[in-house]
Each structure stands twice: as structure tokens, then as C-alpha cells.
């Protein structure tokens, strides 16, 4: 019961910030390509038509996210530099997981930013990371991703306390065909979706299909 109450509080906090679409996992470099995962943690489906992504250049409209279309409550979607079907095969992801591949313009580096903007070019979420900084801003996500802890969804700078994925961890991470370790397209820990208006929390886990 305490766990459910805590998850409900986290969900309400996310809604209060007005950032229903959140950055929930990233890998800046991998054998099967870098990727960023976005998840709808809000209480309603969100149409991402007109939305965009940018790295540290902070240029709204630079990389279109329109192909995601409507993202359901609790749905996680993927942006990657790898061709869509190549990435899907490498991670054994079913057709239900939405992937935008071929992002070759705003590639991530070891020290970079992830920015997402809505259709009006308003910044919705930002993650700044730098594993070379002192103190470090997050772990080094080379060949291994980092899933952001639910308690830290509101942070815009990666924390040195965040840990890398490991096979079978609480996020359900697994190994790609190239040996990368991550959990792309799977609802993040522990999958808290706030039905804000109703005061209900649904705990949902997406499974690979």
C-alpha cells in the first residue's frame, strides 16, 4: 500500500510540473546505435504531431517527432540514429513500439543535452549530462543505457547517483544483438501513470511482443 501511495504522489508531481512527456532512458553511444526514450507519464493521450527534438544546440523544430503521432498513457517511444527496422530487430521490439529512426543530425556525445519541444516550440523536458564533469552529471551511457529513477523525473541535470542498466534489473533490461544493454520501449520504473483528474494510479508494464 505504501508503494502505491508513493507512486501516486510521483505521478501527481509529474502532472503538476506540466511535463507529461518525459525523457526516461538514454544511451549516447551503442553498437546498435544511440537512442532516447520518451514516455507519456500523464493522465491523457498526447498528440506529438509538430513536436521536436534537439541536442545541446537547443534548436526547436530541428528533428521532427511528428511520426510518433498520438502517444497513449504509459506508452514509451524511441528516437534513434539507427534505421527504424534495424533498431527494432536488434532489440527484438514488436511492431507496437513506436520508433523514429535515422536521426543523423543531432547526435549525442559524451557530454550533451536532450531537449524536447511541443508543437508551439515550448520546452517540455531537458536532460543535461556529462560523465566527464567534476562532479559527474550521470553515468557514462556507452553500450549501456541509464533509465531515470521515477523519483528524479523532475530533474533536468543527470545525477551521479543514477546507475547503468543491467540485464534483468528492475527496468527489465536485456541485451541487443550487438551486446548493448538497455530496456528501450518498456515502461520505466516502476511504471507510474497518474490518472490525475480521477485521483487513480494505474501501474502498467509494457511487454515486448
Tens digit of each residue's pLDDT (9 = 90 or more) over 61-78: 999 999 999 999 999 999
Whether 173 and 181 have beta carbons less than 8 Å apart is answered as yes
pLDDT (0 to 100) of residue 87: 98
Q: Tell me what pLDDT residue 3 has.
A: 36
Q: What CA–CA distance (Å, rounded) separates 37 from 46?
A: 15
The whole-number pLDDT of residue 73 equals: 93
Query: Which ranges in 24-171 belong to alpha helices (H)?
Result: 84-90
Q: What was the pLDDT predicted at 19?
A: 53
List b or e across 44-69, with b for residues whose CB sees 16 or more CB atoms inside 10 angstroms. Answer: eebebeebbbbbeeebbeebebeebe
Instruction: Please tell me the predicted confidence (pLDDT) of residue 194.
Output: 45
Say what the pTM is. 0.84
Note the pLDDT of residue 188: 72
CATH class in words for 2-203: mainly beta
pLDDT value of position 203: 32
* pLDDT reported for residue 152: 93
Cα-based angle 91, 185, 129 (whole degrees, multiple of 5):
100
What is the structure's pLDDT at 56? 95
CA distance 201 to 175: 31
Whether 190 contacts 150, CB under 8 Å: yes
Which parts of the chain register pLDDT below 70? 1-19, 189-209
Spans of all domains in the chain = 2-203
Amino acid at each position: 500500500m505504501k508503494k502505491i501511495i508513493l507512486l501516486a504522489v510521483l505521478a501527481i508531481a509529474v502532472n503538476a510540473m506540466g511535463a507529461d512527456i518525459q525523457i526516461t532512458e538514454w544511451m549516447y553511444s551503442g553498437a546498435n546505435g544511440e537512442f532516447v526514450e520518451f514516455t507519456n507519464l500523464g493522465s491523457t493521450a498526447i498528440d506529438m504531431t509538430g513536436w521536436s527534438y534537439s541536442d545541446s544546440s537547443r534548436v526547436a523544430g530541428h528533428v521532427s517527432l511528428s511520426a510518433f503521432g498520438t502517444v497513449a498513457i504509459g506508452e514509451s517511444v524511441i528516437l534513434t540514429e539507427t534505421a527504424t527496422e534495424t533498431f527494432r530487430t536488434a532489440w527484438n521490439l514488436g511492431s507496437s513500439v513506436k520508433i523514429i529512426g535515422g536521426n543523423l543530425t543531432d547526435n549525442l556525445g559524451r557530454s550533451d543535452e536532450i531537449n524536447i519541444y511541443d508543437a508551439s516550440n515550448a520546452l517540455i523536458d531537458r536532460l543535461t549530462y556529462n560523465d566527464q564533469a567534476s562532479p559527474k552529471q550521470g553515468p557514462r551511457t556507452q553500450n549501456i543505457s541509464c533509465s531515470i529513477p521515477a523519483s528524479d523525473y523532475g530533474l533536468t541535470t543527470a545525477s551521479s547517483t543514477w546507475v547503468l542498466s543491467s540485464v534483468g534489473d528492475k527496468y527489465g533490461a536485456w541485451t541487443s544483438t550487438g551486446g548493448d544493454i538497455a530496456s528501450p520501449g518498456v515502461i520505466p520504473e516502476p511504471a507510474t501513470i497518474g490518472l490525475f483528474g480521477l485521483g487513480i494510479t494505474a501501474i502498467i508494464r509494457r511487454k515486448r511482443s
